[in-house]
Structure 1
Amino acid sequence: MPEALPYRPMPLDLDDVRYEHGPDSSPRPGVAAGTTIELPWRSEVFPGTIRTIWIHVPAAYDPDEPAGLLVFQDGWWYLDPEGEIRAGIVLDNLVERGEIPVTIGVFVDPGVVEAAEDPTLRKNRNVEYDAFDNRYGRFLLEEVVPEVRRRLAITDDAERWGIVGGSSGGNCAVTVGWHFPERFRRVLGFVSSFAQIPGGNPYPELVRATPRKPLRILLQAAHRDLHWNEPDHNWLAENLRVAAALVEAGYDLRFVLGDGGHSPNHAGALMPDALRWLLRER
């Protein structure tokens, strides 16, 4: 039987749209809140940078049963219970009801260059997230993940390791999955900034020219993302190009096109269902 979806009128104004969050984006009665560990971090892969990392452990975690791992870029933006994403709350709700396996959330802030006096030079986010190389994945695998595993039991099953991000964090998530599919096989990117990868967006041609990697990918894009109707540096067009290449190459892909602009709002509304889809067994 086909699944019946509730009727929702299509907004006529594509710019000023706000998606309402569902019940799994707020604390549910009877669901115990997880525990969050906050860690200051100095990176060796990105020398001279400092940042904060949060490890969110759902209440159902059992050290005798290794958990899955989800790494979120722009850490506090995604963890903040008053923000748009509220991923810690979502993890607590979905894990409690058994809708996803027990999964540890690791929320990593972008680096800040400690010695830089110019505020614009202090931000290392674009350097880390937009680069098409393996440095950020190495940072996670060589620095962050070992610290998580020192504290918690994490499965070796790459099918239960995922990486999540939005805007530049979205293409960062795809890049980590691309370079390290033996570890991160579940990828979630919201309004990804493929358009500002230095040297241009490599993925449409690269995906078509490379044997398919064992990745499951969910991409969300917005009709009115940055430069949506311009020939260059078009966020919408570059997301469409990447999605088309992944479809043609036979990837396990879910592509969600929403209204509105370059905003985390739609990502927050989608997060519970996105994680259900991303972390399903088959």
Structure 2
Amino acid sequence: MIKLINTLGLCLLLSGAVAQTTKNPAAVYLKSPEVADGGQVTFRFLAPNAKQVMLIMDDGKQRMMLKDTAGVWAFSAHFEPDIYRYTFAVDGNVLPDPNNPLIKPLFKRALGQSLAHVPGPKTLSWELNDVPHGTLVQHFYKSGIVGDQRDIRVYTPPGYDPKRKEPYPVLYLFHGITDETSAWTTAGRENIIMDNLIAQGKTKPMIIVNTLGYGAPEMLEPGAGAYSKEALKKNEELFVASFLKEVIPMTERLYNTKADKKYRAVAGLSMGGGQSLDVGLNNPDLFSYVGGFSAAVILLDPDYTKAFPKLDASINNKLKLVWIAIGKDDFLIESNRKYKSWLESKNIKFSYTETEGVHTYQVWRRYLTTFSQLLFKD
């Protein structure tokens, strides 16, 4: 649990604080990141008065940046085609790249994480192609269960027909801790991935719903004890209640889908991965497909018999797919292996995959690409 707190603390660090950059308040434009042919990427940050500037990437490692005579700090290296989260640590203060408009917002924080896109071949599922595109819509609502104003974001596939005779299936896709509802589109590129797969005939046209993953959003306020056992328990219980009683009924009221498990799948990453396993395995009469991407099962009750009190082999006849995947160098790997062993002891049928990678959207985009192709097929 200490390792989890330290790692999640790094995620919060990436959310940033206000950094001191220069005594000259005039705006200065730098090209950052500069992506050259072949994948050479240069990150730049203007801070002539700073003593040290570090680049923090998805892997959490801090890379030393060097300052030139104009006070511009830079770091350059080769990166494989992908999309990378990064921030700058300026004398200990962390903030996104002020010269980069691509950003992933963070929940309850003014600053987010910048995104560096290293283009690759059009065969990569997240690369923009000349194909029909779906639509993204944001809905706001008052949660009577949580007691706040919140939102869901909804992807509808190209050519979505609200009057189509056959209802559309829905994938409820959850984000991770410190993220908010836009994460799966800004960093995850879910809409582009789905547009490409649908155009290629690799996945069925489906609706995707991204909902806010906090049942107790106050737990992320400074000094609130975000990772205490009590806070995590309250967060999970209220999240699940709101999701089942508010989000699903609202989706089925607003969109052409059907209140039938045949049309429902649930998946998520990190905290959302633990939540999707919680929701899906504890409610097999509501869902047919369940996916956990780098699932933070350690945020649930460590006694899995309490977290999944009714789970037994009978679920094998109710769920079409339980799909779990995680990177080999992910800090959650051991807890996922432990959870895998526990599921095996209960004779639960599931797919389990370990891939290369850490706790990052580089693996989660690939997981979504694979998982979505397994859904809603007879």
TM-score, with structure 1 as normaliser = 0.74
Structure 2 counterpart of 1:37: 137
Instruction: Work out the CA distance in 1 between the residues paired with 2:81 and 2:287.
Output: 30
Q: CA deviation at 1:219?
A: 0.9
Q: CA deviation at 1:161?
A: 0.9
- Assess if the C-alpha contact under 8 Å between 1:110 and 1:128 holds in 2: no
Instruction: Work out the CA distance in 2 between the residues paired with 1:116 and 1:132.
Output: 8
Q: Kindly provide the amino acid, as one letter, of the partner of residue 184 in structure 2.
A: Y
The 3-state SS of whatever aligns with 2:155 is strand
Structure 1 counterpart of 2:360: 263
Structure 2 counterpart of 1:189: 292
Structure 1 counterpart of 2:156: 57
| Equivalent in 127, 130, 153 of residue 256 of structure 2 | 153
Per-residue CA deviations over 1:161-183 (Å, capped at 9, x if unaligned) read: 11121111111000000222111
The 3-state SS of whatever aligns with 2:359 is coil
Structure 1 counterpart of 2:49: none
2:126 is the counterpart of 1:25: yes
2:179 is the counterpart of 1:78: no
The 5 A counterparts of 1:95-134 are 95-111=198-214, 118-119=221-222, 121=224
Q: CA deviation at 1:203?
A: 5.8
120 and 182 in structure 1: CA distance in 2 versus 1, 3 angstrom threshold: farther
Instruction: Work out the CA distance in 2 between the residues paired with 1:128 and 1:60.
Output: 42
The 3-state SS of whatever aligns with 1:105 is strand
Q: Kindly provide the amino acid, as one letter, of the partner of residue 92 in structure 1.
A: D
Per-residue CA deviations over 1:118-165 (Å, capped at 9, x if unaligned) read: 4454979x9897669664333123211222222211034413311121
- Assess if the C-alpha contact under 8 Å between 2:232 and 2:299 holds in 1: no
How many positions carry a matched residue from both structures? 251
Instruction: Work out the CA distance in 2 between the residues paired with 1:112 and 1:138.
Output: 8
Structure 1 counterpart of 2:336: 239
Structure possessing the higher radius of gyration over alpha carbons = 2
The 5 A counterparts of 1:213-228 are 213=315, 214-215=318-319, 216-226=321-331
The 3-state SS of whatever aligns with 2:202 is coil
Instruction: Work out the CA distance in 1 between the residues paired with 2:284 and 2:220.
Output: 38
Instruction: Work out the CA distance in 2 between the residues paired with 1:73 and 1:99.
Output: 22
- Assess if the C-alpha contact under 8 Å between 1:129 and 1:172 holds in 2: no
RMSD across aligned positions (CA): 3.5
- Assess if the C-alpha contact under 8 Å between 1:207 and 1:249 holds in 2: no
Q: Percent identity?
A: 19
The 3-state SS of whatever aligns with 1:23 is coil
| Structure 2 residue runs without a partner (length 5+) | 1-58, 62-78, 83-122, 176-180
Instruction: Work out the CA distance in 1 between the residues paired with 2:311 and 2:244.
Output: 27
Q: Kindly provide the amino acid, as one letter, of the partner of residue 355 in structure 2.
A: G
129 and 70 in structure 1: CA distance in 2 versus 1, 3 angstrom threshold: farther
Structure 2 counterpart of 1:142: 245
Q: CA deviation at 1:261?
A: 2.6
87 and 241 in structure 1: CA distance in 2 versus 1, 3 angstrom threshold: same
TM-score, with structure 2 as normaliser = 0.57
